[in-house]
Amino acid sequence: MQKRKALSTDEAFLLSEKIFENFLEYFNPKEDQTVHIFLPILTKKEVDTQIFINYFFKHNIRVFVPKVVGDELVNIEIFEDSAFETSQWGISEPVSNKDSGDISFDYIITPLLYCDKKGNRVGYGKGFYDGLFQSISPETKKIGVNYFDPDECIDDVWENDVPLDYLVTSTEVLSFLSGFE
């Protein structure tokens, strides 16, 4: 969190662009695919996923975002003309609460504070993404995006934690499916 806070707004945006470019080059998403992607909390300098979303809309890739409704994370399909509001956590969210019911995505792009070399991620501690990962199609690629490479191992992995399949940084794409690529 401290390393992220130390980035200037310009640095964070440039790193976000590099992460996006690495994602495109490695995964090459296609028309009619589906992507579940978080909307960033820019005040916390999360990776700016609006770059991804703009590309997806332009290339006819369906976009779904998470929204917390009550104690549940629902998947809402968004469109270029979708209306948004700011949640109590400072997250831009769709006004709609209508869960799409979709659980089969080609990609889930997830936020994280940190990820270790085994794909274990540290989020904000609510467990929403672990629940989502357990409910989706096993073919869905679970992708974390982060400015920084993994370093230390996470030693307090909870039994219900679901590791990522990939981590995209500004310098590389790491696969946890068969070790580092």
Q: What is the pTM of this model?
A: 0.90
Could you report the per-residue pLDDT of 26-41, keeping only the tens digit for each?
Answer: 999 999 999 999 999 8
Amino acid at position 168, single letter: V
> Which residue stretches of the chain have pLDDT < 70?
124-127, 153-160, 178-181
pLDDT value at position 99? 86
Instruction: Round the average pLDDT of the chain to a whole number and report it.
Output: 88
Taking the C-alpha atoms of residue 36 and residue 134, their distance in angstroms, rounded to an integer, is 14
pLDDT of residue 180: 46
The CA distance from 68 to 50, in Å, is: 19
* CB-based contacts of 160, cutoff 8 Å, min separation 6: 127, 130, 134
H or E segment at 174?
Answer: strand 173-175
